[in-house]
């Protein structure tokens, strides 16, 4: 960085480009959709994606050699904040304009796997599902995974089920974690690339408070070729751990972007809305809500940037990404809540995106590891072996 907490000039340029694209290209299209819509019609989305590709704004996390932008972690954080500033930003950053990165762990796979699965997914910009969590305990997958994959000649037989799987419906393929060994820890878990149209794989939506549903996915004697196993048996978590840890950075940054957009709305409202013979902006109660929100967002943003910067330097990110994810998601929820309070009745109306963001952000405190798990990661790091349960 050129100065204390100053972004590199190239990232400022990318940030400005993404911000303009969101304002000029994405928002006018999203404004035509229903309040709880979670995708743009294909006839609108595809031309929008072509514009983004033309600007080099495509699959930000994917390495350049595979057709993505290949941004650093800090770059991913910067663009994640900007692309989240739309109504459906919590689920579909930029309304899908910038494509969808496949899990980077797939690039550690064989040439066959990269060419058959990763490259086509990048070209089409389609979302890929990742199936780890199960009903027996999504926050402790190493011990709770019951789905099994049994080797039978040149393929595995997959049986079991997964819960809370986002984007499973309509996905071309997904990464499925299953137990191949008897161990009760990560060493007994392998990762498989499973085709979206596999015989024996079914799913049903799980109704939640947001507008789009995660899925429960069932595997009944699903055949998975041995060549679709990612890495060796028992290496599933080892291959994906870096991706899972790093993924918390753009995840956290996106919640900051949503909260910042909400705060901008609240500030504009406070400046123009009168009550009891003066503007809301003149009232100390409102001023303090706005000030607290700005202060907390700056602190959360710096934690995310610091974690991303250290990740780019090659440092171990596990604790820092947990702190960033925890602080950003909890801060964003408080900020949007305050903004709704400032706007009063309009804050909970579907005329504005605030109430939708409020619902979305409540889920963000659970996804990618709930707040309690992030606190556990930090505590175990500080306390060492004596802090382990």
Contact yes or no for 189/237 (Cβ under 8 A): yes
Query: In degrees, to the nearest 5, what angle opens at C-alpha 110 toward C-alphas 106 and 113?
Result: 60
Active-site residue numbers?
Answer: 368
Report whether 302 contacts 5 (CB < 8 A). yes
Burial class of residue 207 in the structure, from the number of CB atoms within 10 Å of its CB (0-12 exposed, 13-18 middle, 19+ buried) = exposed
Residue 53's CB is within 10 A of a number of other CB atoms, namely: 17
CB 120 within 8 A of CB 62: no
- 249 exposed, middle or buried (CB, 10 Å; 0-12, 13-18, 19+)? buried
Token output for 387: 């802090």
Q: Which residue has the tokens 């490259």?
A: 119
Sequence-ordered alpha helix ranges (H) in the chain: 9-21, 27-30, 42-54, 73-83, 111-113, 119-124, 141-144, 236-272, 284-312, 318-343, 354-364, 371-383
Q: Which of 360, 321, 319 is nearest to 74 (CA)?
A: 321
């Amino acid at each position: 960085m050129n100065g204390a907490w100053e972004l590199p000039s190239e990232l400022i340029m990318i940030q400005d480009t993404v911000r303009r694209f969101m304002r000029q290209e994405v928002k006018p299209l999203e404004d035509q959709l229903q309040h709880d819509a979670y995708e743009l019609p294909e006839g609108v989305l595809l031309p929008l994606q072509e514009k983004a590709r033309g600007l080099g704004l495509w699959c930000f996390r994917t390495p350049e050699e595979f057709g993505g932008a290949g941004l650093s972690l800090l770059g991913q954080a910067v663009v994640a904040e900007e692309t989240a500033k739309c109504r459906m930003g919590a689920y579909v950053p930029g309304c899908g304009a910038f494509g969808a990165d496949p899990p980077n762990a797939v690039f550690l796979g064989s040439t066959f796997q990269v060419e058959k699965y990763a490259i086509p997914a990048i070209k089409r910009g389609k979302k890929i599902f990742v199936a780890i969590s199960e009903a027996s305990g999504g926050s402790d997958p190493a011990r709770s995974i019951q789905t099994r994959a049994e080797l039978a000649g040149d393929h595995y037989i997959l049986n079991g089920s997964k819960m809370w799987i986002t984007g499973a419906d309509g996905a071309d393929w997904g990464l499925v974690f299953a137990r191949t060994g008897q161990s009760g820890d990560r060493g007994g878990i392998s990762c498989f690339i499973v085709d979206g149209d596999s015989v024996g794989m079914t799913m049903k939506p799980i109704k939640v408070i947001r507008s789009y549903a995660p899925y429960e996915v069932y595997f009944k004697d699903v055949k998975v070729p041995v060549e679709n196993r990612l890495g060796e048996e028992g290496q599933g978590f080892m291959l994906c751990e870096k991706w899972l840890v790093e993924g918390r950075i753009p995840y956290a940054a996106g919640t900051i972007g949503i909260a910042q957009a909400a705060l901008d709305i609240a500030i504009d409202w406070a400046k123009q809305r009168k009550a009891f013979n003066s503007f809301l902006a003149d009232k100390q109660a409102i001023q303090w809500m706005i000030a607290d929100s700005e202060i907390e967002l700056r602190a959360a943003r710096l934690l995310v940037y610091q974690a991303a910067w250290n990740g780019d330097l090659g440092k171990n990110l596990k604790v820092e990404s947990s702190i960033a994810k925890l602080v950003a998601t909890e801060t964003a929820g408080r900020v949007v809540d305050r903004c709704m309070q400032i706007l009063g009745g309009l804050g909970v109306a579907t005329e504005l995106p605030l109430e939708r963001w409020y619902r979305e952000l409540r889920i963000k405190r659970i996804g990618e590891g709930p707040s309690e798990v992030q606190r556990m990661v930090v505590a175990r790091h500080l306390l060492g072996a004596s802090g382990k349960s």
